[in-house]
Amino acid sequence: MSTWFITGCSTGFGRALAKAVIDRGFNAVISARNVEAIADLAASAPDRTLALALDVTDHAKVVSAVQAAQERFGSIDVLINNAGYGYRSAVEEGERETVETMFATNFYGPVDLIQQVLPGMRERHSGVIVNMSSIAGRMSSPGSGFYSATKFALEGLSDALRQETAQHGIHVILVEPGPFRTDFAGRSMKRAAAISAYTSTVGERHKEDSRIDGNQPGDPAKAAEAIIAVATAAKPPRRLLLGNRAIDRCKEELANQAADIAAWEALGRRTDF
C-alpha cells in the first residue's frame, strides 16, 4: 500500500486531496499548521492516517514530520506539496517582508520537503512528487506578480528536478489550477496597501476577488480525483492544467508566445557569431 504525504490539508485542495486519498484506501500523512483542523480526517481511518502539525517554513518541523511518516509507514511514495497562499499586490506596492514570507511557504517549503523525501525515493527507485502550482505559474496578471514569481520558481525547479530524477524512477508533476472554489481569493489571500495609481489594474483584481470568492467554477473534489489519476499513472504528464479557464488561458498564452517568436525570429537568429 502506498503512502501519501500531503501538506496544507486544513482547507481547499489539501483537504479534498486528503479525503480522496483516505477514501481510496492509501496510507495518508496529512498535515496542517493547526492539527486540530484535520482531526476529523485522521479519525476517519486512524489505522492508515497520521495527522501532523506542520509549518513548512520551519526546517526542524519538516525534518521531524518526514521522519515520523517514515517511522509510521516505512516510506513516502507520493509527496504532494500543496501548502501555500496568494498575495494581491502591484510590484510597486509589494512589502519585502511579506513577499519573503510567501516565498518561504510557496517555494522554499516545498524545496525542503523534496530534499527530505528524495533519499528514500532514490533508494527504492520509485516515487512521485506533485507540486501544486497555478495557471499563474504559466503567466502573470496585474496584482499577481509576486505570487506568480513563487510559482514560476517552483515550475523552474520542478522541470530541472524531473530531469535529474527520472533515471531514479521518480516522477515530478506540476499541477496548474485555474479558479477553484477554495478560500484562495478570500481568507487565504493577503493584500498590500493600495497605491491609487494602480486602481484601474490591480484595483480591478481586488474587485474580481470579491466577486468570485465562493463562486469559482472549479470543484476541488474533482480536482483531487484528477490529481490522484495522474499521480498513479504509469506515464504521468509533466503538467496538468485544471479547469476550463486555466486550459483556455494557457492555450491563448502559448499562441501569443508562438506569434512573438515568429515575428522576431529573424532578428534573434542574427545574434550568433
Q: How many domains does the chain have?
A: 1
Buried b (16+ CB within 10 A) or exposed e, 250-271: beeeeeeeeeeeeeeeeeeeee
User: Which residues span the domain enclosing 225?
Assistant: 3-244
Give residues with Cβ within 8 angstroms of 98, minimum separation 6: 87, 89, 190, 192
Question: Considering the domain boundaries, does residue 34 fall inside one?
Answer: yes
pLDDT at residue number 193 = 80
Of 176, 148, 184, 152, nearest to 242 by C-alpha is 176
Report which DSSP code applies to 136: G
pLDDT at residue number 180 = 83
Interval 174-193: pLDDT, tens: 999 998 887 765 676 788 88
CATH number of the structural domain spanning residue 170: 3.40.50.720
Cell of 208: 474580481
Question: Considering the domain boundaries, does residue 175 fall inside one?
Answer: yes
pLDDT at residue number 172 = 98
Question: Considering the domain boundaries, does residue 91 fall inside one?
Answer: yes
Stretches where the chain sits below pLDDT 50 are: none
pLDDT at residue number 41 = 97
For 171, how many CA atoms within 13 A lie in the half-sphere containing its CB? Answer: 18
Q: Hey, how many other C-beta atoms are within 10 angstroms of the C-beta on 213? A: 17
Burial degree of 211 (CB within 10 A; 0-12, 13-18, 19+): exposed
Question: Considering the domain boundaries, does residue 264 fall inside one?
Answer: no
Tell me the sheet residues that pair with 6.
30, 80
pLDDT at residue number 250 = 97
Question: Considering the domain boundaries, does residue 270 fall inside one?
Answer: no
Full-model pTM: 0.94
Interval 216-242: pLDDT, tens: 878 999 999 999 999 999 999 999 999
Q: Which residues are catalytic?
A: 133, 147, 151
Question: Considering the domain boundaries, does residue 125 fall inside one?
Answer: yes
